[in-house]
Amino acid sequence: MNEHTSSFIRLLTNPLKFRLFLLAKLPSAFFSGVRVRYMDEKRCEASVPYKWFSQNPFRSTYFACLAMAGELTTGALGMAHIYKRKPSVSMLVVKMEAAYFKKATGRTTFTCEDGEQFRQAIEDAIAANESRTVEAKTTGRNKEGEVVCEMMVTWSFKAKSK
């Protein structure tokens, strides 16, 4: 584990610091109400509510707002493992797939448990000095625990030149 991973997790799980981060870097997620609910080096949970700013004309959460919360669960795990890393590592979404099963009419909570995959890919990218990809799965559930959607987000990692 990167020695700075835990400090990134503390930063992201601090409600005030996280909201400031969203406002500065992801304002649409801020206004949609996306929040990190839990995070450690292996798992991240984030949620998005159904509210005026995140709604669609069909009285459910707009798919793009669901995608923001889903992407956040995967991206936060990747960011945690590259935070203040030497050499620094860049990351980029290269593919995203989603399947929707139910209308999201309340708070939808996404969970990604692929932190170990991210850690290993980043280590490999640094060792080989080549890009590596991670296909991470995140599942969105409603308050009853029913699966609302599943997403596969593919991230690419590459060590930056010194």
Least confident of 26-30, 135-139, 147-151: 26-30
> Among candidates 53, 54, 85, 82, which has minimal Cα distance to 67?
54
List pLDDT tens digits, range 93-128. 999 999 999 999 999 999 999 999 999 999 999 999
List pLDDT tens digits, range 73-83. 999 999 999 98
Per-domain boundaries in the chain: 5-159
pTM of the predicted structure, to 2 decimals: 0.91
Strand ranges inside the chain, DSSP E? 35-39, 44-48, 89-100, 108-112, 132-141, 147-159
Give the mean model confidence (pLDDT) for residues 2-24. 85
Tokens read off for 79 = 């960011």
- Architecture of the domain spanning 5-159: Roll (3.10)
